[in-house]
Structure 1
Amino acid sequence: MPITTIPPQDADKAMAKGATLVDIRGADEHAREHIAGAIHVPLTRLNELPKVAGPIIFHCKSGMRTQANEAALQAAAASVPCHILEGGLDGWRAAGLPTRLDRKQPLEIMRQVQMAAGGLVLLGVLLGFLVAPVFFSLSAFVGAGLMMAGATGWCGMAKLLQLMPWNRPFPGA
């Protein structure tokens, strides 16, 4: 049975009737903001999806990740009817439906990477023009790192940022 998309309002009604909403985003994304009642099963751990009786609605941030992994989601759902939340969490929020936002959680790692990379590129360009052209190499280094991350799926900057104190759980938490 093919996966169909479902608008946020219809997904909300389906959940009220027993459908299971599954958040496939990373742990950092889910901790920062999620839909109440959604179970968290990251895309990398779909094999741990619990067995459910009713339909399953998968969601990510924008709907792109769920659509790109449609075959894996369908396989994980087995014979249960499944849907993709149209627009993901962003679509849910845009429809005026509530989410749980925890501003005490750090920004998602990929947003931190984007901010750090953008800042380093800008710094390299500014220093290249204002101090010495050798600083343009900083921008080139960051650009090469981003290209490598896109090509391989491994991001050294993300790994480094995950080690930062603001991304570690507090003792006793």
Structure 2
Amino acid sequence: MSLQDISPQQAKQMCDSGGAVLIDVREPAEHSSKHIPNSKLLPLGRISASDIEDSQQNLVIYCQKGMRGKKACEKLIKDNPKLKVFNIVGGIENWEQCGFDTQRGQSTVMPLDRQVQLSIGVLLLLFSALTMGVSFNFIWAVVVIGSGLVVAGSTGFCGLGRVIAMMPWNQRA
């Protein structure tokens, strides 16, 4: 089966009718701070078709904005082409904008994409300042960071995102 993008309305209808399992592919801390009720947590970095209990069930996948969800769907289909997987376009943010319920926890954590953006911004500012004030050789760090952004933008793979996802604050549930 191929990847199918669906709207939050379609996803809600599938789940309400009992025709789908809802899977959150964000990190544990993101899930514990806010998630769609009755969703199962299977983070993108560890998701596998072997985690799926009923391979005949429709799987509705979501993340924060839709990109990790799409990657999770692609990975599951690669592991088992017979799986029926659907990605919620716009993730949990779009789900909430449609007025559907989310369950909030006690803790709050910054979404992974914003953690990555903040980290890159801080590193670029730091190495730019070091380039101007200490040594021009620090420009190579700016070049490496910029190259990483080009790779992430063109391939969808973000190494920094993977590293930040493994940080302890993102693993706490």
- Using the size of structure 2 for normalisation, the TM-score is 0.69
**C-alpha separation between the residues in 2 aligned to 1:109 and 1:41?**
15
Q: How does 1:20-169 map to 2 (within 5 A)?
A: 20-43=21-44, 44-46=46-48, 47-51=50-54, 54-74=57-77, 79=82, 81-102=84-105, 104-126=107-129, 132-134=133-135, 137=138, 140-141=140-141, 143-145=143-145, 147-148=147-148, 150=151, 154-155=159-160, 158=163, 162=167, 169=172
**C-alpha separation between the residues in 2 aligned to 1:6 and 1:157?**
26
Please list the CA deviations of residues 69-91 of structure 1 after superposition, one character each: whole Å capped at 9, or x if unmatched. Answer: 54433355664533221222222
Secondary structure, aligned partner of 2:61 = strand
Larger RCO, structures 1/2 (Cα 8 Å, 6+ apart): 2
Counterparts in 2 of 1:75 and 1:128: CA distance versus 1, 3 Å: closer
Counterparts in 2 of 1:69 and 1:113: CA distance versus 1, 3 Å: closer
Displacement of 1:21 after TM fit? Answer: 0.9
Counterparts in 2 of 1:123 and 1:6: CA distance versus 1, 3 Å: same
Counterparts in 2 of 1:68 and 1:141: CA distance versus 1, 3 Å: same
Question: Which moved further from structure 2: 57-66 or 103-112?
Answer: 103-112
Aligned-residue CA RMSD (Å): 3.7
- Using the size of structure 1 for normalisation, the TM-score is 0.69
For the Cα contact (< 8 Å) 1:117–1:142, is it kept in 2? Answer: no
AA partner of residue 115 (structure 1): L
Displacement of 1:103 after TM fit? Answer: 6.3
AA partner of residue 21 (structure 1): L
Secondary structure, aligned partner of 2:60 = strand
Please list the CA deviations of residues 86-122 of structure 1 after superposition, one character each: whole Å capped at 9, or x if unmatched. Answer: 2222221221222233462432455333213312322
Identity, in percent, stands at 26
Counterparts in 2 of 1:145 and 1:121: CA distance versus 1, 3 Å: closer
* Greater gyration radius: 1
**C-alpha separation between the residues in 2 aligned to 1:77 and 1:142?**
40
AA partner of residue 2 (structure 2): P
Unaligned runs of 5+ in 1: none
Unaligned runs of 5+ in 2: none
Secondary structure, aligned partner of 2:14 = helix
Count of residue pairs brought into register by the alignment? 165
For the Cα contact (< 8 Å) 1:59–1:88, is it kept in 2? Answer: yes
For the Cα contact (< 8 Å) 2:25–2:61, is it kept in 1? Answer: yes
